[in-house]
Structure 1
Amino acid sequence: MSWFESFVLGLVQGLTEFLPVSSSAHLRLTAAFAHWQDPGAAFTAITQIGTEAAVLIYFRKDIARIVGAWFRSLWDRRIRGDHDATMGWLVIVGSIPIGVLGLALKDAIEGPFRDLRLIATTLVVMGVVLGIADRLAARDETGGRHRAAAQRKDLTRLDTRDGLIFGMCQAMALIPGVSRSGATISGGLLIGYTREAAARYSFLLAVPAVLASGLFELKDAGKGHPAWPQTAFATVIAFVVGYAVIAWFMRFISSKSFMPFVIYRILLGLLLFALVGAGVLAPHAGELAG
């Protein structure tokens, strides 16, 4: 991997990690379109450490409050019902599905799941799901902000059942093209949460899973796949760009629809189907051998 490739891939990772369009799919497609070697699942996992560092900084006050309350609740029964302490437990509960499935499906994630035909399918299907979820949320908002606030749930109403549903949605993102934020936000909207609540919990829920995955893959970073210096450079780029994207996206969802992302996902998926079908791109273009 050249330094230019690592810069471009780090930029793509930072731009797409928090948008509901799938960063893993875009890293895979960028390499395929440019006729580069697929950076691989390990590269994706490690560069996500950069974007999750952006989450840690952007939501630092929320995270510090949640972590502090959770630790205090371990020995102080009086605060176990505190919202922040409960959120700590719910983030742990919601992280279980992706942890279990990530280990169980590791070989598939690094191989068959990177087939461009599967990525095209997940781009289209999850685009439709996001569109349906977005329309349901918009329908609730037609009665005005006060009615929407009464009907839609915020994070103070998050419980174990909903935490597991969010977690299962997040686990779907193990397949490139699904999108971690897209799946969890769609799930949150479908079970009645506000856009802001679904997005905020999506970002918080991703922190332990992504950091654990990235740290797990670090052991292979010096073995050439991916190359350590270029991967570190891409991770820094992803952090800087990712922070800016979080700030923009949290403002965007407060008043805008997800439909631009829905349309983009569907069009990209259909284009990918056409390119693979016409033989312009091979389903396994650029994949690492062995």
Structure 2
Amino acid sequence: MDYLQAVVLGILQGLTEFLPISSSAHLRIFPEWFGWGDPGAAFTAVVQIGTELAVLIFFRHDIWRIATTWLRSLRRPEYRGQLDARMGWFIIIGSLPIVVLGVLLKDVIEKDFRSLWIVGTTLIVGGIVLGIADRVGSTEKTLKQLSLRDALLMGAAQACALIPGVSRSGATLSMGRFLGYERETATRYAFLLAIPAVIGAGVFELKEIPHGDNIYGWGPTIVATVVAGLIGYAAIAWLLRYVTTHSYTPFVVYRIALGALTLLLVATGTIAA
């Protein structure tokens, strides 16, 4: 049964990681609905490695170009003004807030923040913020106009996703829209920005898989991670096409509905917080 649950959770992770609806919230809420119990913060972090591997494969040409140009810029001044070199620094600096806060707040994140009261509330609040940002934000800026200040602000927004329900992509996209970036630009940068944080967190939590709060062993965790990567790859391609011609409104509605339903079920004692 553990392996069947792992496949379901892997599909859930792959479908929700890149959409602004919070994969960590879904991995916390749906197992509770099914009576499986909380899979744990370690399981959630490790399974997310699968979806980030999908990002590495999907954006492999962009990542290789950014990495090589950034490395050249360390030794050769003529490369330092190029967009790819600057993107390397933007991703590094933008990742600092979530890394620092993730280490400092590790115990709180793995225990207190996993309450469904918090998850349901952050789903609703995050949905409202995303809706406002998408409505009032302009679409003037492209990736070429990304600045160090904006990269750091989007990195700070990403750090809010340490609270399940916020959504890493949702928070980054909201800040990007508030700063005036077009949807595709904000989405693409959100994908790249998440790579160091997610893979780092997953590797950091690997030691907790056979212990800690994880209810699954290595086998189911690996299965869920592989499934998440396969589904996640398809989700990336779909989302990038979708945001070129559509708003984030469906995600806003879904977040608010799921958050409200979660709070209702907890309040009535149908599921435990």
Q: TM-score, normalised by structure 2?
A: 0.97
What 5-or-longer segments of structure 1 have no aligned partner?
141-147, 284-290
Q: Output the aligned Cα RMSD.
A: 1.1
Q: Secondary structure at the match of 2:210?
A: helix
Pairing partner for 2:236 from 246, 254, 268: 246
Counterpart Cα distance in 2 of 1:268 and 1:211: 27
Partner of 1:164: 152
Percent identity reads 56
1:276 matched to 2:262: no
Moved more, 219-228 or 79-88: 219-228
Q: CA deviation at 1:273?
A: 1.3
Q: CA deviation at 1:232?
A: 0.3
What 5-or-longer segments of structure 2 have no aligned partner?
none
Partner of 1:204: 192
Kindly provide the amino acid, as one letter, of the partner of residue 100 in structure 2: V
Q: CA deviation at 1:72?
A: 0.6
Kindly provide the amino acid, as one letter, of the partner of residue 150 in structure 2: D
Q: Secondary structure at the match of 2:75?
A: coil
Q: TM-score, normalised by structure 1?
A: 0.91
Equivalenced residue count is: 271
- Listed as ranges, the matches of 1:21-60 within 5 Å are 21-60=21-60
Q: CA deviation at 1:12?
A: 0.4
Pairing partner for 1:189 from 177, 183, 205: 177
Q: CA deviation at 1:134?
A: 1.3
Partner of 1:234: 224
Instruction: Write the deviation string for residues 11-43 of structure 1: whole angstroms up to 9, x where unpaired.
Output: 100000000000000000111100112111111
Q: CA deviation at 1:223?
A: 3.3
- Listed as ranges, the matches of 1:1-290 within 5 Å are 2-137=2-137, 140=138, 148=139, 152-223=140-211, 225=214, 226-283=216-273
Counterpart Cα distance in 2 of 1:223 and 1:127: 34
Q: CA deviation at 1:257?
A: 1.1
Counterpart Cα distance in 2 of 1:212 and 1:57: 17
Counterpart Cα distance in 1 of 2:164 and 2:108: 11
Counterpart Cα distance in 1 of 2:80 and 2:210: 43
Instruction: Write the deviation string for residues 157-188 of structure 1: whole angstroms up to 9, x where unpaired.
Output: 11111011010010000000000000000100
Counterpart Cα distance in 1 of 2:12 and 2:179: 31
Kindly provide the amino acid, as one letter, of the partner of residue 51 in structure 2: T
Q: CA deviation at 1:220?
A: 2.1
Kindly provide the amino acid, as one letter, of the partner of residue 261 in structure 1: F
